[in-house]
A and B are shown apart, each in its own frame.
Chain A
Amino acid sequence: MNTSTINASSFVYGLITFRDVMYVARASGLNASTDEGKTWHNALSSLQPEPTPITCLLSHSQGLLAGSVGGLFSSQDGEQWQAISLRKPVPTLSALAVVTARMANHNDVLLASSLADGVFRSDDNGQTWLAWNIGLFDLHVLSLIVTDGNIVIAGTETGLYVSYNAAKAWEAVEMPVGDAILSLACHQGSLYVGTETQGLYCLDANTLTKDTLGTRFLTSDTVDWEKLELPRGAINQVDIADEHRFVLVDETVYSYQQDVWTAMEKDVSCFAHMNHQLALGFLDGSVQVNNV
């Protein structure tokens, strides 16, 4: 087990790896570690003033994106960063995602969701950003994911929205319960939706294709939701894969082993599964990397 602490009062928002470097998004900024979390250094020193907090991170084919209360920042190597101009009023970013290009000579579409301004998109490698938000009635977006079929799902304060054209136009998806959607995950055609007070739901994401449905108003009658049995609490994060299932309920990480959800760690603010390791960000600002 490798542990290290840096700035004990700095809340951890997210963890990712990029080119074998671990990055942690904190209330105090962005830190990087090249030794699996043993030591950390400030990754945003190229920016003045340094943006804080860093609320979300994304690694993509062209580099890194970091979202903040004050906007968006990009880097090709993780060390040299530049600010990206977003329209005023400047959004507070909540999540980042990418729609991978399926055709040659097309760029990936980068997505940045915000707490009050919907979803911004860029199809020119982050040079320019526009918030199309057509049909996105709730602009308070808390979570964002892109499925294997390149369908974009946005979780908002009041429910779920789906986009079939890389976040240009959106349609509301009715859920069995109305609640804030805090977390999203997708695995093997199943969509996992974590709510604030109503638990974790699972849906066959293939039912969200336009060709299959062909309906004008997506109702809970037309899609089949399954509620997973979990301890009560806010589903803050979900990570489902072949070899693991992790859920952050309130501040406790649960793993699914032998048909049972088992509590692993408490006082966790976020986690990331990377290369057979589970990195945990704790409420006290510390980061712990465990082999799993």
Chain B
Amino acid sequence: MSNIRAGVRFQPDVNKRLQLGVHKLAQLIRPTLGPLPRTVVHQKLNDIELLDKGALIARRMTNLPDRREDIGAMYLRHMMWQLYEDVGDGTATAAVLFTTLYDAGLRYLAAGVDVRKLGGALEYHLKYLLNQLDQQTQPVSALAQLQGIARSVCPDIALADVLAELVHDLGEFGRLELRKGGTQHEWSFVEGNYWSGGVLSKRFLEGKTPARIELEDVGVLVTDFQLDDPRELPPILKQALQLGFKKLILIAKTISERAITFLTAPQLLEQLAVIPVKLDGFTQAQDSANHTDLTALVGGYPVVSLGSASLPRARPDDFGRARLVWADQQHVGIIGGDSDPHALKHHVNSLKTAFYTAQDAELRKTLRTRLGRLLGGTITLWVGGASEREVEANQEHAEHTDLTLRSALEQGVLAGGGRAYLTCYNFLQRQYETASTLEERASCHMLLTALEAPLRTMLDNAGLEPSEIIGTLKTAGDEVGYDIRNQTYSNLTEQGILDVASVQKAALRYAVSSVALALTIEAVVHKKTPEQVTAP
């Protein structure tokens, strides 16, 4: 019995409305699954935007008039957004999988299956499906493969090809900086390693054109000092001189005018040229990471004051060395750091291990940035476009494509176009035939239907009849897929029609887990409609 004042609804009233909401959102998303790109227009306050990413479309959709339908749509939206934040893609696939599984699940609920046992069976079969996908996963390294993947996620073919080539050169962790460019896509390579930061005072750049210092065969001392009292500097400088340095880069947080005057004194410059620079870091953890990485490259150890009033002494071992250090107002760069290669390799491997085990997307992003910097070399890509709006859109596409290509390098690829899911069909069919409980059979049947759904949707989108094609593929070898654009059966891997394995697995995992939970919904509590608020 519903309580209009409180906005509470119970079963069996709930599922139908939730399902309608799910379908309304899914209908928006389906066309974007491909294979030919379609867009959805979203009206903003004084503008419109064209969207082709499932998660972004879902994000824009708010407040269906019917509150229960709205909850259904928001539930699906929430799943899609979480998936997008996790792996950056696969949201349309996940939406299609979810909708298919949810529809089938509701029918089985109506038939009387135990929803808890059904959820358990779904998770059980999911594990085996993910294992099947693992077995199909292949490493990717060829440029043609990366091009195929890039073209499938980036609508600008020229940009996709450039990105594929650059990521092919950089590998999984190499550093790629994306900037807004002009009308063309252009890139350049910067040797060595560099950080945001720069010279601590413009006085050290006076008279230099361009405004940049370059020091060869230079000592490097990494500190967190706030250089205030110049009287604290001589012990450090004396140590540097004793080590034979004629030039020194001093990493510090801040510097006072008195200290600058001391460091620019001609008497000092005759013996030792000292340039104080800073590395940008918003938190202590970032500062510490920067210091650790820099000393891993140049040798030495960070000298940490820990906020004490006086600066600690620097020992000989604390100093590092580099072939060349450059700095301007915004960056500090190293070429040819002189650290122990074994120690550097160990440090990089530690960060790689942390990266592969990290679950948090922000942490992975931070670790990837650090690794890119440590590996050395940076490619800067200026993303072009015919207009400013196009440049902005292309930059977003470039970021997304870069992430997808790195995921492909990291986790491998599967045959694209929904083929990988379909390859799991026969395995699951055998599970279905040997299932012993109603819930196990229900789970298998739901998943069997879902495994076809992405390919079926893509064929629908292309205006083709799905059943015959899917029927043919089920009996063909696993290596045979359907090239929808060219309407031919072919080896999709050889054609470069590939999907990133981590994305496909995540889409399936999110869809199954979300449906298992959604089917347990017994009641909804929602905001009152305006009519309910004003009703007596």
Contacts and interface: CB of A to CB of B under 8 A. Distances in A.
A18 interface: no
A210 B171 CA distance: 12
Interface stretch (A4-12, A163-171, A226-234, A247-255): A163-171
B318 interface: no
B91 to A, nearest CB: 28
B145 to A, nearest CB: 11
Interface stretch (A38-46, A72-80, A125-133, A265-273): A125-133
B189 A211 contact: no
Given A131-B191, A169-B171, A210 B341 contact: no
25 contacts: A88-B214, A89-B216, A89-B323, A89-B324, A116-B323, A117-B323, A118-B336, A130-B189, A130-B191, A132-B189, A134-B377, A137-B341, A137-B348, A156-B341, A158-B341, A159-B341, A164-B141, A169-B169, A169-B377, A172-B345, A178-B342, A210-B141, A211-B139, A211-B141, A216-B352
Contacts of A211: 139, 141
Nearest 10 interchain pairs by C-beta? A138-B341, A214-B139, A134-B377, A137-B341, A210-B141, A89-B216, A158-B341, A137-B344, A168-B169, A169-B171
Contacts of B348: 137
A117 B336 contact: yes
A211 B145 CA distance: 12
Nearest to A157: B341
B426 interface: no
Interface of A: 87-89, 116-118, 130-139, 156-159, 164-165, 168-169, 172, 178, 210-211, 214, 216-217
Classify the interface of chain A: helix, strand, loop or mixed.
Answer: loop
Given A89-B324, A211-B141, A216-B352, A132 B377 contact: yes
Given A116-B323, A169-B170, 18 more contacts: A88-B214, A88-B324, A116-B336, A117-B335, A130-B189, A132-B377, A133-B376, A134-B170, A134-B376, A137-B344, A137-B345, A137-B348, A139-B336, A156-B341, A164-B141, A169-B375, A210-B141, A211-B139
Contact of A135 (B189, B216, B324, B376): B376
B349 interface: yes
B500 to A, nearest CB: 16
Contacts of A137: 341, 344-345, 348
Nearest to A159: B341
A161 to B, nearest CB: 10
Contacts of B375: 134-135, 169
Contacts of A88: 214, 216, 324
A199 B342 CA distance: 21
B220 to A, nearest CB: 15
A214 B171 CA distance: 13
Contacts of B191: 87, 130-133
A116 B337 CA distance: 9
Contacts of B370: none
B174 A134 contact: yes
A122 B357 CA distance: 38
Contacts of A159: 341
A158 B216 CA distance: 24
B392 interface: no
B456 interface: no
Contacts of A117: 323, 335-336
B171 A135 contact: yes
Classify the interface of chain B: helix, strand, loop or mixed.
Answer: mixed
B30 interface: no
B77 interface: no
A75 B436 CA distance: 79
B505 interface: no
B377 A133 contact: yes
A121 B348 CA distance: 24
Contacts of A156: 341
A33 B366 CA distance: 58
A217 B356 CA distance: 13
Contacts of A89: 216-217, 323-324, 336
B67 interface: no
A172 B348 CA distance: 12
A87 B333 CA distance: 15
A63 to B, nearest CB: 25
B477 to A, nearest CB: 21
Nearest to A89: B216
B23 interface: no
Interface string B166-191: 00111100100000000000000101
Contacts of B169: 132, 165, 168-169
B171 A134 contact: yes
Nearest to A166: B169
A138 B340 CA distance: 8
A134 to B, nearest CB: 4
Nearest to A87: B191
Interface in B225-255: none
A164 B142 CA distance: 10
Contacts of A217: 349, 352
Interface string B347-379: 011001000000000000000000000011100
A130 B378 CA distance: 12
A276 to B, nearest CB: 40
B343 to A, nearest CB: 9
Contacts of B377: 132-134, 168-169
Nearest to A210: B141
A104 to B, nearest CB: 16
B49 to A, nearest CB: 37
A194 B491 CA distance: 44
Interface in B139-167: 139, 141
A158 B174 contact: no
A89 B345 CA distance: 24
Contacts of A130: 189, 191
B156 to A, nearest CB: 24
A172 B336 CA distance: 17
A158 B376 CA distance: 18
Contacts of B376: 133-136
Interface string B248-269: 0000000000000000000000
Nearest to A90: B216
Contacts of B216: 88-89
Contacts of A134: 170-171, 174, 375-377
Contacts of B217: 89
A116 to B, nearest CB: 6
A107 to B, nearest CB: 16
Contacts of B214: 88
A210 B349 CA distance: 19
A133 B189 CA distance: 11
A217 B216 CA distance: 33
Interface in B117-149: 139, 141
Interface in B57-110: none
Nearest to A114: B336
Nearest to A214: B139
A117 B377 CA distance: 13
Contacts of A165: 168-169
